[in-house]
Amino acid sequence: MPRPNLAAFLALLLSLVSCQAGPPPAGGAVLPDRISKTTVLVGQRQLEESEWAPVEDQFLLGAEYSSISTQANFGPEFGFNGSYASEDLGGLTLDATLLEAYLGGRIQSTTGNARPFFGAGGVLTYGEIELSNGFSSASADDTVLGFYLHGGLSVRASESLEIVFDVRKRFGSDAEIEGVEIDVDYLTFAIGFSF
């Protein structure tokens, strides 16, 4: 299946950031010192096809918290996510799961209705592969540290709700499963809601 074009997305994000002047709060309202948001994300994680096929495209669900200074437009972020894919191999079922926890820093506009953001940090990734035949199963797993970059756009839908578009890239280390090194780097495309 064709891969989405990351370069095109980043070019679009940069154009949004360059256009984002952000009007001052209406009516002379004063911004709070920090804007803290919890975001729920749903999307797709794309692993390296040559190493993960036929379970390289995984459904993803995650949650993230960020707290951005309105003076510096910067603050911490942390979150958790998990992804899963399953494939029938003619009497056998192959399941693949990735779970993550991450912590990093985030730059984000705090004014305007469209608020671009960019974040980076460290990530702890747990990966598991399981093969079963309905009566018995065998599995292998590993946990590794890595790094992530992500960026996107948060669009205000109401005073308390924002729609979030997020692209994330993981890099930096391979997992070792049953003595074989396997690439756990990925590209993730997600949409979510912040409140």
Q: What is the pLDDT of residue 76?
A: 98
The tokens describing 52, both together, are 């993960």
Prediction pTM value: 0.82
Q: What is the pLDDT of residue 67?
A: 97
Predicted confidence (pLDDT) per residue in 32-91, tens digit: 899 999 999 999 999 999 999 999 999 999 999 999 999 999 999 999 999 999 999 988
Residues 6 or more apart whose CB falls under 8 angstroms from that of 53 comprise none
- Interval 115-141 mean pLDDT: 94
Angle at 123 between CA 3 and CA 115, to 5 degrees: 65
Each domain of the chain, given as residue ranges in start order, spans 6-16+33-194
- What is the chain's Cα-based Rg? 19
CATH architecture entry for 6-16+33-194: Beta Barrel (2.40)
